[in-house]
Amino acid sequence: MTAIRRSTNQRSLRVFALPLAAALLAASCGGGGDDAAPDDQVVTEDSTGDTAPADDAAPDDAAPDDAAPASSIVDDDTSDGSPVEETLPPEENLEPVAGGTLRYGLTAETNGINPTASALSVNGLMIGNAVFDTLAALTPGGGWVPYLAESFTPSDDFRSWTMKLRPNITFHDGTPLNAEAITVNFESQRAHPLVGLAVKPFFPDEGAVTIVDDLTVIFNLLEPDAQFPSAAMTGQLGMVASPTWLEAAAADGALNQAPIGTGPFVFDSRSEDSVTRFVRNDNWWNGDVYLDAVEFFPVPDPDARNDLMFGGEINALHTTNQASTLDLRDDESIQRVENDAGEESFAMINSSVPPFDDIRARKALTLATPVDLYNDLIALGVNRPANQMFIPESPFYNPDVVQEHDDPDAAVVLAAEYCAERGTDENTVLGTPTCTDGKINIELQWSGPAVVQTRIADLLDEGWSVAFNVTFNELLEDEHVQQTAFGQYNVNTWRQFGAANPTGDNVWLMCRTIGGISLNWPRFCDEQRDALILATMAEPDNADRAPLLQELVQRIHDDYLYILFNHTLWTNAFAEEVHGVCERTAPDGTLLECATNGRTWFSSVWID
Amino acid sequence: MNYWLQRIGMSVLLLLSVSALTFGAMNVLGDPLFNILGPVARTKDVRGTAQTDGYAYQASKGNPTAGLVVLDEADELASGQALLVSTDDELPLRTDTIAPLDSVTVEGGLVSIADTVSPGDSVVNGPEPEQLFKVAQAEQEFHLDKPLPERYARWLADFVTGDMGPQFSKTGEPPVTDLIKERLPRSVMLLVMAQILATAIAIPWSLWSASKANNIVDKLSTFSTFLIIALPNFALGVILKYVFAIKLSWFPQTFNASDPLLSQVWQMFLPALTIALPAAAVYQRLLRTDLITTLQEDFILMARSKGVSRRNVLFRHALRPSLFSFVTVFGINTGALIGGSLIAETIFRVPGLGSAVVEAVATEDFPIVLAIVMIIATAFVLVNVVVDVVYSLIDPRVRR
Amino acid sequence: MSEIELVADEITNQDDASPEAELITRRLGWAFWLCVCWLVVIVLAAVLAPWLPLKDPNANLVNRDLGRPPYSPSSEFWFGSDQDARDVFSRTIFGARVSLTVGFVAIAFGMVIGGTLGILSGYFRGWWDRIISFAFVVLLSFPALVLAILITSLLDRGLMTISLTLGFLAIAPVGRLARATTIQYAEREFVVAARTLGARHPRIIIRELLPNVVIPMGALALLGMAVAIVAEGGLAFLGLSVQKEETWGKLILLGAGSRDLEKSPWISMAPIFILFLTVLALNFAGDKIRAYFDVKETAL
């Protein structure tokens, strides 16, 4: 099978609502079993977002020369380093046929499938793709097009956006899609105590959405946002659910498990921890749907997921597990879409509690981190090491920013210096002094139980132990997110910064998202950095944004809050008989993005 | 008759103790609110810092801002109470707003707040009013603000009428009763299959072994029971799955709840075998010893001397008395099998009660844990009663 | 867990001297001593591990000549290495420290608490006995593993918490055995004699009953230790075992993915094998001791 590779041009725009919701609400009962980062925890949504698509597409030959893993023990068949690799054949000569069931292996079960009340992790979003449509959709070049909406029009200052809906669309229950439905969806999300956290910082208390006529609404923003539709409307916030159903689900929580949207598939049945099934919507507004049904199987163990695929029990899966990725690459009959333009894996430091309120302690931890070993042993050389949140192909990449690591001697010196001066402060997370015997006492948190997570903890401990006494604290995913949101941690392992549009990652960085519950997890406030962030949001043109974002990346690096390991690589794999994964189009025929951050769509898929 | 009444009384007392213990442990050691609200639950434990001098109070939705009672000192504020604080003070729990001194009117221990103060003002890193409101709402809905004995009584009253409560969960799962209805049949089916398999393996095995008592075959088979019992059930499960599901592909690797019943039985074979093998070894040891004892009894020797064939003696005469102790162990062992099913359901992804309880314990989903613990305890009690009844049927002397 | 219970029942039923007891020789046999040897070796290795010439169990011993880990067994790595180039042999030995500690502490705790309660209730009888016996039944009607995950997930996952949780589960079966044995001896001539001679309760319990009760409990201790070690493995499989230290259960789990089973089976098979041998030795030795002392008892 020939591999068609294309280089995406950039991390494009991305919005707050999505990541936030996903991050905090991170559902999934199965625990984060999959891979090297807190699994699915902070799943942001790829959105792209260029209002001016033509001129800022990066050249196709932008493939980087530094893409190979920095240090691998053995040469292996890593990809050529481009952020997206596809092995799906072009479908020109094949006529789609109707029928068949797509059986998809997911990394975990999701708690509920209500985009206004559930934390949609990547798995929730994937299931959502079957039953909901988003207002805008991503295109492969890093752009976006209106999808369920007919058009988006910004005001001159990008402070408000007018959205017009397509006429004559109804939800599966017969409720019409209109301005009222949009308002109900938006307000439900904003009213949610967690999802709302991500929405509120960017909208006024009153008049965030105003209805113009039955099919037109205006979104009013607090600050200019030049990429609003691509960032906000292509992910969870862009999914529109039936208002009738939302109302019923608010009264009877059980209905959250039986979603109703406008999407290509209609909810059929759900048996938690086993299978969730959707059947074809014969009256879909955007054309014909081929598959009879889509079934989702949560399989937290990546090996088991692969085994099911090789055994023919499922015909599609997604994974970030490196060993699984290698096995999938070895099987010629399996088609893959790989993409590492999304999140980064890293260790994250809480700057609000001693010892890490002191930059010397943060720097010591950074220098003691065995990143090379991590990428060799845990990531198996599959992922590209990360220096910053942008991949080298990104127009915003700053070549001067390099992630420090593997310098234990310097770490020991810094830790000794810190301990001599502040060794008697109290580490309130552990309830101990910050130092014992010249080493800094810290707690490492991660979400589990998962074998890989334990391996990572052991590996980090092995490196950090030169200058730190590390206490372990493995928590269930929900608890892990809670402790992090409330600042009750010293350092943890995390995955984030997947925003296609850097705007979407702002919610993690700004002073205004620090509070009782923080989304600025490290609880680090820098007014100048905030000013810079607002400046990037107001700028519609990538060429103008690039220097600002490069400066931002430098600032983030200099504060030593994130110890970056690598760029997360998502692999979506499909059995031989699956076709049309990348043939999804908008009503005007524009080809749409087929895989972002582990998610794919189903309306164009068919099976022979 | 008296005996049976006493028996029933003890069983009820037993179930009450089990439920009270579980209920108490989960409520004292865990936090039900966390399971209902997720991260938001912690807002009740968060203390903000005052940004200004003034009266701190709780401004969750709909509370009056007039006539707040001023306290001298407080670790936690209820709605309708206020406390005078100064800048940078650490605030009491459940305090989300501060009204600056110039926006209040104080009158005889009561304070009124002007309209200009909006909820959440002048507090940093504290709970948000809306979050506190959610907390209060959930506490009320699930009666978490009531004292423990009252909550237990409420739960008990619901439980005996067949309502096992809502699933505590932020996304509104179906009621526990639905979950039990869906999953209990699978677990029962798994256990029944396991017991059938175990019996089917143990009886011929022990007959064979006993008929060759103390020769090399018997010794080897006794030794092999030691081997099987020494192999942990999780290791057994992993090995069975690897060999029969992955390598040989004789069985599917996982369970699919939407398949027809017959294929579900097929899918449950390996998990049932994982539970059944160690049980079979235990049964075999017991039956073998028993059979050997019986075979030396006079009536067997008599039968043999009358010319009854060896096979007939084994099946007709020896096995029946041995079943007596088998029934006992069969009953007692059901408890062990339930433990084994936890592991087997996890390894083979059978969504039964075992995997549900593991998950529910982890997420501190009290109503589910309670319901499942009660089901298992009830099953335990019932099995013991049934064993007694069977006893008295087999051997009338036991009847009192 | 309730295997303990089964064994306890078996032991209590044992006094109707089965003819099999006659068949068992009064010697313990070479197999018994082989088991004891194995147990001595594994306990010594565990105790002395830090001073033995073993590789650092936590070090990532990446060897570029061998390619990418896991390395297969060789003269350098006797049992091979795991995915992170750590020596499986030395990890298994170090894992024995925790697993054996868990097993020992658990059963010791169960013996002390359960034994005391059992003897007291068996000796004094009356209401005291009814309450304690009822408490035992309550504990027994919880499925043990459910109780274990409940306690560990609500408390923490330290070594002591896990050990004591498993020990707590051992209280009821041990207690029932102690009670049954005590009742059996409380009516025997030597106890009655001591009582008529005016000996006080503590003296009778300690001097007359305890030595007799301890013997069957000793056999149960070995079997119970095996059960506790396996139970720890079960907890590890559910992700609820000791947090930081390595245990056999955690080592097995590390290699139990189907990919590792296929490509590098030694990661899980080495600790499974050692665990298996140890449990087998404990079971076998416990069984032999039981049979041996039963013979002695009937000889009394």
- The minimal CB distance from B293 to the residues C18, C149, C268 is found for C18
Q: Which residue of B has its CA nearest to C268?
A: B235
Please list, residue by residue across C98-130, b when 16 or more beta carbons sit within 10 angstroms of its beta carbon and e when fewer do.
bbbbbbbbbbbbbbebbbbbbbbbbbeeeeebe
Q: So what's the ipTM on this one?
A: 0.84
The number of C-alpha atoms within 13 Å of A554 and in the hemisphere containing its C-beta is: 11
Rounded Cα distance, A521 and B52, in Å: 26
Judge whether B290 lies within some domain.
yes
pLDDT of residue A334: 94
pLDDT for residue A184 is more than 90: yes
Neighbours of A435 (CB within 10 A): 25
pLDDT of residue B1: 66
How many structural domains does chain C have?
A: 1
- Pick from A288-292, A426-430, A477-481, B272-276: least confident: A477-481
Share of chain A above pLDDT 90, in %: 62
B100 SS3 class: strand
- State which of B113, B136, B159 marks the end of a domain: B136
pLDDT digits (tens, 9 = 90+) for C212-251: 888 778 888 898 999 899 999 988 888 888 888 899 999 9
CB contact under 8 A, C244 and A31: no
CB contact under 8 A, A323 and C258: no
Spatial neighbors of B90 by CB under 8 A, at least 6 apart, are B47, B49, B50
Judge whether B170 lies within some domain.
no
Outline where DSSP puts E strands in A548-605: 562-567, 570-574, 578-579, 595-596, 599-600
Q: Are A171 and A264 in contact (CB under 8 A)?
A: no
Highest mean pLDDT among A152-156, B374-378, C190-194, C213-217: A152-156
How many structural domains does chain B have?
A: 2
Give A507's DSSP letter: G
Rounded Cα distance, C286 and C273, in Å: 20
Neighbours of chain B (3+ CB pairs under 8 A): A, C
pLDDT of residue B61: 61
Which is more confidently placed, A21 or B32? B32
Judge whether B23 lies within some domain.
no
Pick from C244, C252, C253 the residue to mutate for testing the A interface (most A CBs within 10 Å): C244
pLDDT of residue A172: 96
pLDDT of residue B94: 86
- Per-residue pLDDT tens, chain C, 300 aa: give them: 444 454 445 544 444 444 444 444 557 788 899 999 999 999 999 999 999 999 999 999 988 888 888 999 999 899 999 999 999 999 999 999 999 999 999 999 999 999 999 999 988 888 989 999 999 988 887 777 888 888 887 888 889 999 999 999 999 988 988 898 888 888 888 888 888 888 888 888 888 888 888 877 888 889 899 989 999 998 888 888 888 889 999 999 898 888 888 889 899 989 999 999 999 999 999 888 887 776 444 333
pLDDT of residue B203: 87
Which is more confidently placed, A111 or A489? A489
Which is more confidently placed, B219 or A371? A371
Highest mean pLDDT among A46-50, A203-207, A544-548: A544-548
- Pick from A282-291, A569-578, C209-218: least confident: C209-218
- Find residue A346's DSSP bridge partners: A494, A564
A 171-200 → B contacts, CB under 8 A = 191, 193-194, 196
Average pLDDT over residues B54-61: 81
CB contact under 8 A, C262 and B242: yes
pLDDT of residue A67: 33
pLDDT for residue A352 is more than 60: yes
pLDDT of residue A200: 84
pTM exceeds 0.80:
yes
Average predicted confidence (pLDDT) for chain B: 82
A380 SS3 class: coil
How close B65 comes to chain C (CA, Å)? 40
pLDDT of residue A214: 95
CB contact under 8 A, B233 and C5: no
pLDDT for residue A6 is more than 70: no
pLDDT of residue A35: 41
Q: Is residue A57 very low, low, confident or very high in pLDDT (cuts 50, 70, 90)?
A: very low
Highest mean pLDDT among A145-159, B171-185, C139-153: A145-159
Spatial strand order of the sheet with A149-154 comes to A149-154, A160-165, A216-220, A209-213
Cβ-based interface (< 8 Å): residues of C facing A: 58-60, 62, 64, 67-69, 83-85, 157, 238-240, 243-244, 250, 253-254, 257-260
pLDDT for residue B68 is more than 80: yes
Average pLDDT over residues A603-608: 93
Q: Is residue A298 very low, low, confident or very high in pLDDT (cuts 50, 70, 90)?
A: very high
Which is more confidently placed, B32 or B281? B281
- Which CATH number characterizes residue B305's domain? 1.10.3720.10
Judge whether B385 lies within some domain.
yes
pLDDT of residue A47: 32
Please list, residue by residue across A38-48, b when 16 or more beta carbons sit within 10 angstroms of its beta carbon and e when fewer do.
bbbbbbbbbbb
The answer on B236 and B117 residing in a single domain is: no
- Pick from A237-246, A534-543, B146-155, C1-10: least confident: C1-10
| CA proximity to A35, closest of A452, A478, A493 | A452
The answer on B374 and B238 residing in a single domain is: yes
Judge whether B18 lies within some domain.
no
Q: Is the dihedral of CA C171, C174, C176, C179 positive or negative?
A: negative
Average predicted confidence (pLDDT) for chain A: 84
- Which CATH number characterizes residue B79's domain? 2.170.190.11
pLDDT of residue B172: 53
pLDDT for residue A133 is more than 80: yes
pLDDT digits (tens, 9 = 90+) for A379-424: 999 999 999 999 998 889 999 999 999 999 999 999 999 999 999 9
Architecture of the domain made up of A344-567: Roll (3.10)
Tokens read off for A568: 């997360």
Q: Is residue A22 very low, low, confident or very high in pLDDT (cuts 50, 70, 90)?
A: very low
Residue C259 touches partner B, C-beta closer than 8 Å: no
- Which CATH number characterizes residue C279's domain? 1.10.3720.10
Judge whether B166 lies within some domain.
no
Average pLDDT over residues A345-370: 96
pLDDT of residue B219: 85
pLDDT of residue C66: 86
Beta-carbon contacts below 8 Å between A and C: 62
Q: Is residue B51 very low, low, confident or very high in pLDDT (cuts 50, 70, 90)?
A: confident
pLDDT for residue A568 is more than 60: yes
pLDDT digits (tens, 9 = 90+) for B79-110: 888 888 888 888 888 888 888 888 888 887 88
Domain range for residue C164? 3-299
Residue C284 touches partner B, C-beta closer than 8 Å: yes
Chain A partners of C62 at a C-beta cutoff of 8 Å?
73, 373, 376-377
Chain C partners of B329 at a C-beta cutoff of 8 Å?
6, 9
Rounded Cα distance, C190 and C183, in Å: 13
Share of chain A above pLDDT 70, in %: 85
The answer on B111 and B222 residing in a single domain is: no
pLDDT for residue B66 is more than 80: no
C 20-59 → B contacts, CB under 8 A = 20, 23
Architecture of the domain made up of A22-341+569-607: 3-Layer(aba) Sandwich (3.40)
Average pLDDT over residues B48-58: 88
Tokens read off for A176: 């019409």
The alpha carbon of A140 is separated from its chain's Cα centroid by a whole number of angstroms, namely 17
CB contact under 8 A, C68 and A380: yes
Neighbours of chain C (3+ CB pairs under 8 A): A, B
The answer on B183 and B325 residing in a single domain is: yes
pLDDT of residue B272: 94
pLDDT of residue A191: 84
Pick from B170, B253, B270, B364 the residue to mutate for testing the A interface (most A CBs within 10 Å): B170
pLDDT digits (tens, 9 = 90+) for A325-335: 999 999 999 99
The answer on B301 and B247 residing in a single domain is: yes
CB contact under 8 A, A449 and C258: no
Neighbours of C298 (CB within 10 A): 12
Domain range for residue B359? 176-399
Tokens read off for C59: 């070090």
Neighbours of B245 (CB within 10 A): 22
pLDDT for residue B133 is more than 90: no
